[in-house]
């Protein structure tokens, strides 16, 4: 079995692995890397058309753009390849692709593909735990605990079993933690946090302290979140904590997206099920699409998409709240280069208004409190322990520096691992 990395091992984003055995090939994920530079918008998997033309099927781990949003490029190139994935991933992926296309267009670049290319994606929804066949490969998926429909993927070839974890999380507020298959020859594991320790309970505690601090100052706290995933987990968290009558404003899109959780019975944890059953939104002020941020009374908590302040209501609220030093902007996920979120984290404090006019200065405090979405050091030790010494361990979703540190820590506990530079191949002798 050969594993070719088209991106996403020694970097975050544009995840794509081509798995081949003899004349048969499948693709695992085909995503984009959100980076906007002067001369280009986004980076795409590095794969020759000749390689892609041999692909008999794509197995898609989940709908996030760093795993899915390059798929319409296959359609554009005339490759009619079925995309095997969970039914919710099939439902969500066209939205993520369309949103990526829109982001490129908004940045004044030529869109990478057409709306028709997105609409022409051909999905083959699969159930967790049921084996399906693509060419010479048997494939099985299971819930990975990262977002509704997210899956790990087990690929069984003639002489090897490869486990690709996709994005996994063992501490999701609403989803069951992943149970990975044992007895495999190789694993490509999500190592997004490297050797860092990241406990969700501690992160939530820190978030609560930051909110309380902002409320005591009589300010408004803006929580930019993604439309699906962390946005709904944040709603469940805010429902649970005591806010002493502080009004919470939530974008309607975030509460509407709870339907994806309601439709995900096979992946919900007991906590997730009880959250959905006892759902009482009367504690919140739900703001419909197109709501113009007004001068709200403070203190207040405002939860809005998107997560990087790069589009959507969160950017509008940012502009309203940025100058007042009583306010807080709390970022809870990774911020792609060039987005307002990334600029704030790098210390930039002078911004231009949306249209024309005088620049304004950020008076609000800016905080980064990571909301856990990937495995941390403790999780990685737990997940990799069964494979120590007898499995090829490939680190994915991690920059070169962090993966180097992680590989060194893993070595201390008897697990050798490596990254795959983009464009490299690992051959598992058969």
- Write out the residues near Zn ion by the rule CB under 5 A: 64, 66, 167
Q: How far is the CB of 94 from Zn ion (least distance, A)?
A: 17
Q: How far is the CB of 146 from Zn ion (least distance, A)?
A: 5
Instruction: Identify which of 194, 184, 197, 254 has the alpha carbon closest to the alpha carbon of residue 226.
Output: 254
Our CB check for Zn ion shows the closer of 92 and 268 to be 92
Compute the C-alpha angle 297/299/304, nearest 5°.
85
Cα distance between residue 348 and residue 340, in whole Å: 9
Q: How far is the CB of 397 from Zn ion (least distance, A)?
A: 6
Cα distance between residue 397 and residue 90, in whole Å: 22
Our CB check for Zn ion shows the closer of 147 and 287 to be 147
- Interhelix angle 230-240/270-277, rounded to 10 degrees, is 70
Reduced to 3 states (helix: H, G, I; strand: E, B; else coil), residue 83 is strand
Q: How far is the CB of 66 from Zn ion (least distance, A)?
A: 4
Determine phi and psi for 126, rounding to 5 degrees: -130, 150
Our CB check for Zn ion shows the closer of 89 and 185 to be 89
Q: How far is the CB of 202 from Zn ion (least distance, A)?
A: 22
Our CB check for Zn ion shows the closer of 228 and 322 to be 228
In contact, 369 and 163? CB cutoff 8 Å: no
Name the H helices within 135-229.
200-216
Residue 401 buriedness (CB in 10 A; 0-12 / 13-18 / 19+): exposed
CA atoms within 13 A on the CB side of 395: 33
Cα distance between residue 352 and residue 360, in whole Å: 6
Our CB check for Zn ion shows the closer of 5 and 301 to be 5
Q: How far is the CB of 229 from Zn ion (least distance, A)?
A: 8
Our CB check for Zn ion shows the closer of 12 and 327 to be 12
Our CB check for Zn ion shows the closer of 156 and 332 to be 332
Tokens found for residue 301: 């908590």
DSSP per-residue codes, 366-377:
EEE-PPP-S--H
Q: How far is the CB of 244 from Zn ion (least distance, A)?
A: 34
């Amino acid at each position: 079995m050969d594993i070719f990395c088209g991106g996403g091992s020694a970097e975050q984003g544009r995840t794509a692995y081509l798995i081949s055995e003899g004349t048969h090939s499948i693709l695992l994920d085909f995503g984009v890397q959100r980076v906007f530079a002067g001369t280009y918008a986004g980076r795409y998997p590095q794969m020759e058309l000749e390689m892609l033309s041999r692909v008999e099927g794509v197995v898609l781990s989940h709908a996030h753009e760093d795993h899915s949003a390059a798929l319409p490029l296959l359609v554009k190139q005339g490759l009619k390849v079925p995309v095997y994935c969970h039914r919710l991933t099939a439902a969500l992926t066209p939205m993520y692709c369309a949103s990526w296309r829109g982001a490129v267009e908004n940045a004044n670049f030529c869109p990478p593909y057409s709306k028709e290319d997105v609409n022409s994606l051909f999905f083959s929804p699969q159930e967790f735990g049921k084996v399906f066949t693509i060419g010479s490969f048997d494939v099985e998926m299971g819930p990975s605990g990262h977002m509704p429909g997210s899956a790990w993927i087990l690929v069984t070839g003639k002489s090897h079993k490869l486990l690709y974890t996709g994005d996994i999380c063992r501490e999701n507020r609403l989803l069951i933690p992943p149970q990975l298959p044992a007895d495999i020859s190789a694993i490509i594991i999500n190592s997004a946090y490297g050797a860092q320790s990241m406990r969700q309970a501690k992160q939530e505690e820190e978030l609560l302290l930051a909110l309380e601090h902002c409320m005591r100052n009589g300010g408004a706290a803006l929580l930019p979140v993604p439309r699906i995933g962390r946005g709904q987990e944040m709603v469940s968290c805010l429902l649970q904590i005591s806010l002493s009558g502080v009004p919470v404003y939530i974008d309607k899109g975030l509460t509407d997206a709870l339907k994806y959780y309601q439709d995900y019975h096979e992946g919900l944890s007991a906590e997730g099920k009880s959250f959905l059953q006892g759902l009482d939104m009367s504690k919140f002020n739900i703001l419909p699409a197109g709501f113009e941020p007004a001068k709200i009374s403070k203190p207040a908590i405002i939860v809005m998409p998107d997560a990087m302040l790069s589009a959507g209501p969160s950017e509008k609220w940012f502009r309203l709240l940025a100058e007042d030093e009583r306010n807080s902007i709390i970022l809870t996920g990774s911020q792609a280069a060039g987005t307002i979120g990334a600029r704030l984290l790098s210390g930039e404090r002078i911004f231009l208004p949306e249209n024309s006019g005088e620049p304004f200065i950020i008076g609000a405090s800016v905080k980064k409190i990571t909301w856990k979405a990937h495995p941390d050091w403790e999780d990685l030790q737990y997940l990799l322990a069964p494979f120590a010494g007898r499995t090829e361990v490939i680190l994915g979703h991690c920059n070169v520096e962090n993966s180097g540190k992680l590989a060194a820590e893993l070595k201390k506990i008897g697990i050798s691992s490596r990254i795959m530079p983009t464009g490299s191949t690992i051959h598992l002798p058969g």
